[in-house]
Structure 1
């Protein structure tokens, strides 16, 4: 494991975001397994919120899907979110992310396209589409 991943893992434990992610995984009855680069993968998450193929809390990447879903670009996207938890000093990431998602809904009608955290994690890797803001969309004549 690279030094940067060890630092991320340590800081996300210390800032309590990874322990919260483990609690969320337990509450969602997900199967937890060690993943690459210090990540913890949680498969079979059973709570209906949030509505996403995968989401990250600290170094814990959760999905409702079975093993094998968290691979490639999607896992890279979620790993970037784990780094964002470290940079946001842990738990403040949650309200900041919710504010960014709400702003994105107001700007373009979905929670990802203009969410700064999703854009920095590479939208397409997270299966988000880019939508234009409401003021740039072509207006249809009446």
Structure 2
């Protein structure tokens, strides 16, 4: 594991985002497995929120799907989210992400296309598509 990933793993434990992620794994009755780059993968998450194929809390990546769901590209995207938790000093990432979702919905009607966190994690790696702002779509109508 690269030094950056060891630092990220340590800081995300200390900033309490990974412990929160592990609590969500337990509440959602998911199964944990070791993932690449210090990530913890959790399969079979049973709570219907949030609406996403996968989501990250600290170094924990959760999905409702079974083992084998994660591609290398998707894990790279989720790993970038884990780094965002480290850079946002942990739990403040959650309300900041909600604000970013709201901004994206206002701009283009989609929760990811203009969400700064999703854009920095590379939208396409997370299986999202880029949508243009509503004012551009009005001009082309």
CA distance in 2, matches of 1:28, 1:70: 18
CA distance in 1, matches of 2:40, 2:124: 22
Q: Which stretches in structure 1 are left out of the alignment for 5+ residues?
A: none
CA distance in 1, matches of 2:49, 2:93: 17
Q: Does 1:92 align with 2:108?
A: no
The residue that corresponds to 2:110 in the other structure is 110
Runs of 4+ in 1 over 3 A off after TM superposition: none
CA distance in 2, matches of 1:70, 1:15: 26
Q: Does 1:5 align with 2:11?
A: no
Which residues of 2 match residues 1-142 of structure 1 at below 5 A?
Answer: 1-137=1-137, 138-140=139-141
Equivalent position SS for 1:48: coil
What's the CA shift for 1:139? 4.5
Normalised by the length of structure 2, the TM-score is: 0.97
Number of aligned positions between the proteins: 140
Q: Which stretches in structure 2 are left out of the alignment for 5+ residues?
A: none
Normalised by the length of structure 1, the TM-score is: 0.97
Write 1 or 2 for the structure with the bigger share of helix.
Answer: 2
